[in-house]
């Protein structure tokens, strides 16, 4: 029998979404600490060039793992659907097929990341003085692919069945491990950026193991049995059908961001460090919104699986409004405190100037970004992931890259790079608003087994 306390098909809507989102928020907060602590320690102990190397690796890392994360989102939608419908046999098959996929993907990701890192960094226009540290960080990070791939797989399973608490507990443990190892490797043993990457890798392996242990020891119907891990081709087809659009979307957006990063790189190491510091701040600031959108995907998936359509509509409305308001409040705070926040990473005046300018260009438009992510999350939960993929591919990739290709050569100004984000957020929000108001997305999962 399903644990009804984990079902989002019952109880007050705002409580289910909010109390499910809160552990996700704190979990994402500690996860964000992985790379942020790396940046803080690297920036203060190793200098601006090392900080630039770690920061410039972020978009490239997301380019390679974004596809797998998207597929895991699709797997979560499938699992949430069967959990909401209380179909135990299909739930069991979906979970074990998802884990099998993650194990194979980990091997592929290790090979791709380690072998092709230098060439991709060259394509990005990484400055020569930053290149050695960038390659070193990237390769060590991807040697631990098993940790971050399987962590995302296991967390996706737990969240799909309504358990957002255990991932939080495990991330707290692994974040403490990460901070301690960062200080030991960099400050004590002077291992450089490789030490920062190794600390992150070990921490992710710890969190992945703890999540796996929870799935193995639970008595609920979503229990993981190691001997049952294998591919079911029909179920794999469902997971790919729901997850492939999200995976492609993540990769396309990441590719566009790599192009953006390449343009930032052309302005030198100080610009790289300043914009990289803002990216960490933006990542922290946007965590509450990300948490809401993740909760909304699970909420929509479970309630559509249970065919509770009006409840689904009400939950979607609550999530969109809450995310947009919260995002704008956070944006205002970042706008005001930008120089202080940037200087925590690197107090070099030029670095602070670059980072603060980037923050004050984007922060007041956060409500648009929140709206786009909210509607995209709802549509993914409804099994209509192709729509967000198309909108974001056009707005956040094709338009974004086109604007950069035209404006940067003409203006020779980094402000053109900064403004490309708010402009494309406006376009995606308008497109999503038109589609969401007119399309019949609510019954999307009817008769789609």
Q: Tell me the pLDDT tens digit for each residue of 291-334.
A: 888 889 889 888 888 888 889 899 999 999 999 999 999 999 99
Q: Which two tokens stand for residue 134?
A: 């960038």
Judged against a pLDDT cut of 50, whether residue 2 lies above it is answered with no
Q: Which two tokens stand for residue 388?
A: 């967000």
Judged against a pLDDT cut of 50, whether residue 3 lies above it is answered with no
Q: What angle is formed at CA 335 by the lines to CA 330 and CA 339, rounded to 5 degrees?
A: 120
Judged against a pLDDT cut of 70, whether residue 127 lies above it is answered with yes
d(CA 123, CA 121): 5
Q: Between 32 and 150, where is the model more confident?
A: 150
Total number of domains in the chain:
1
Residue 104 located in a structural domain: yes
- Residue 26's pLDDT is 81
- Residue 298's pLDDT is 85
Please list, in sequence order, all residues whose beta carbon lies within 8 angstroms of the beta carbon of residue 269, skipping any fewer than 6 positions away: 48, 49, 52, 127, 129, 130
Q: Which domain holds residue 169?
A: 4-438
Q: What is the pLDDT of residues 146-158, one digit of tens each?
A: 998 999 899 989 9
pLDDT band at 440 (very low <50, low <70, confident <90, very high): low
Please list, in sequence order, all residues whose beta carbon lies within 8 angstroms of the beta carbon of residue 359, skipping any fewer than 6 positions away: 278, 281, 282, 334, 335, 338, 341, 342
Q: If you ran DSSP here, which 8-state letter would residue 267 be given?
A: T
> What pTM was estimated for this model as a whole?
0.75
Residue 132 located in a structural domain: yes
* Radius of gyration of the chain, Cα coordinates, nearest whole angstrom: 21
Please list, in sequence order, all residues whose beta carbon lies within 8 angstroms of the beta carbon of residue 403, skipping any fewer than 6 positions away: 416, 420, 423, 424
Q: What is the pLDDT of residues 361-371, one digit of tens each?
A: 999 999 999 99
Q: What is the pLDDT of residues 340-384, one digit of tens each?
A: 999 988 888 899 999 999 999 999 999 999 999 999 999 988 888
Judged against a pLDDT cut of 50, whether residue 1 lies above it is answered with no
Residue 237 located in a structural domain: yes
pLDDT band at 449 (very low <50, low <70, confident <90, very high): very low
- Residue 9's pLDDT is 81
Residue 443 located in a structural domain: no
Nearest Cα to Cα of residue 212 among 107, 96, 78: 96
Q: Are 253 and 66 in contact (CB under 8 A)?
A: yes
Q: What is the pLDDT of residues 229-261, one digit of tens each?
A: 999 999 999 888 888 888 887 777 777 877 888
Residue 245 located in a structural domain: yes
- Which ranges of 8-161 would DSSP assign to H, the alpha helix? 13-45, 48-85, 88-123, 131-143, 145-160
Please tell me the least confidently modeled range out of 31-35, 82-86, 260-264, 350-354.
31-35
- Name the helix (H) or strand (E) containing 433: helix 415-438
Nearest Cα to Cα of residue 109 among 227, 247, 236: 247
Residue 445 located in a structural domain: no
Q: Are 328 and 367 in contact (CB under 8 A)?
A: yes
d(CA 353, CA 118): 30
- Residue 124's pLDDT is 64
| 3-class DSSP state of 236 | helix
Q: How many CA atoms lie within 13 A of 94 on its CB side?
A: 32
Average pLDDT, the chain: 85
Q: Which two tokens stand for residue 290?
A: 């990300």
- Residue 333's pLDDT is 95
Nearest Cα to Cα of residue 265 among 82, 130, 403: 130
Residue 331 located in a structural domain: yes
Please tell me the least confidently modeled range out of 1-10, 34-43, 269-278, 312-321.
1-10
Residue 152 located in a structural domain: yes
Judged against a pLDDT cut of 50, whether residue 17 lies above it is answered with yes
């Amino acid at each position: 029998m399903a644990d009804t306390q984990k079902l989002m098909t019952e109880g007050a809507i705002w409580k289910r979404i909010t109390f499910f989102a809160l552990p996700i928020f704190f979990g994402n907060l500690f996860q964000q600490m992985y790379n942020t602590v790396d940046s803080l320690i690297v920036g203060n102990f190793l200098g601006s060039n090392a900080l630039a190397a770690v920061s410039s690796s972020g978009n490239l890392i997301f380019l390679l793992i974004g596809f797998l994360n998207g597929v895991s989102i699709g797997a979560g939608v499938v699992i949430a659907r069967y959990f909401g419908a209380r179909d135990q046999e299909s739930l069991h098959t979906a979970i074990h097929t998802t884990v099998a996929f993650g194990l194979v993907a980990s091997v592929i990701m290790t090979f791709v990341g380690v072998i092709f890192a230098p060439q991709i960094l060259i394509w990005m226009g990484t400055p020569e003085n930053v290149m050695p540290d960038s390659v070193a960080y990237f390769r060590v990070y991807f040697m631990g692919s098993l940790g971050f791939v399987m962590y995302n797989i296991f967390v996706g399973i737990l969240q799909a069945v309504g358990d957002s608490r255990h991932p939080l507990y495990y991330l707290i443990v692994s974040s403490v491990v990460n901070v301690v190892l960062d200080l030991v490797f960099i400050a004590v043993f002077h291992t450089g950026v490789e030490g920062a990457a190794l600390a992150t890798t070990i921490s992710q392996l710890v969190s992945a193991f703890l999540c796996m242990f929870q799935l193995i020891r639970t008595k609920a119907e979503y229990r993981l049995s190691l001997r049952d891990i294998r591919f079911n081709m029909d179920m794999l087809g469902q997971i790919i059908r729901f997850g492939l659009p999200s995976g492609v979307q993540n990769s396309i957006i990441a590719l566009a961001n790599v192009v953006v990063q390449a343009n930032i790189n052309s302005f030198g190491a100080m610009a790289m460090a300043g914009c990289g510091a803002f990216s960490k701040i933006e990542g922290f600031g946007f965590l509450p919104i990300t948490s809401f959108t993740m909760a909304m995907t699970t909420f929509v998936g479970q309630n559509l699986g249970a065919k509770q359509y009006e409840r689904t509509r009400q939950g979607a409305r609550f999530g969109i409004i809450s995310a947009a308001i919260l995002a704008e409040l956070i944006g205002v705070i970042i706008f005001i405190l930008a120089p202080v926040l940037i200087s925590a990473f690197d107090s070099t005046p030029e670095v602070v100037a670059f980072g603060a300018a980037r923050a004050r260009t984007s922060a007041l438009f956060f409500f648009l970004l929140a709206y786009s992510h909210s509607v995209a999350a709802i549509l993914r939960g409804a099994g209509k992931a192709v729509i967000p993929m198309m909108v974001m591919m056009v707005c956040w990739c094709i338009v974004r890259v086109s604007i950069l290709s035209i404006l940067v050569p003409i203006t020779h100004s980094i402000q053109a790079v900064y403004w490309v984000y708010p402009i494309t957020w406006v376009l995606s929000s308008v497109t999503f608003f038109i589609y969401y108001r007119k399309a019949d997305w609510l019954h999307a999962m009817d008769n789609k087994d």
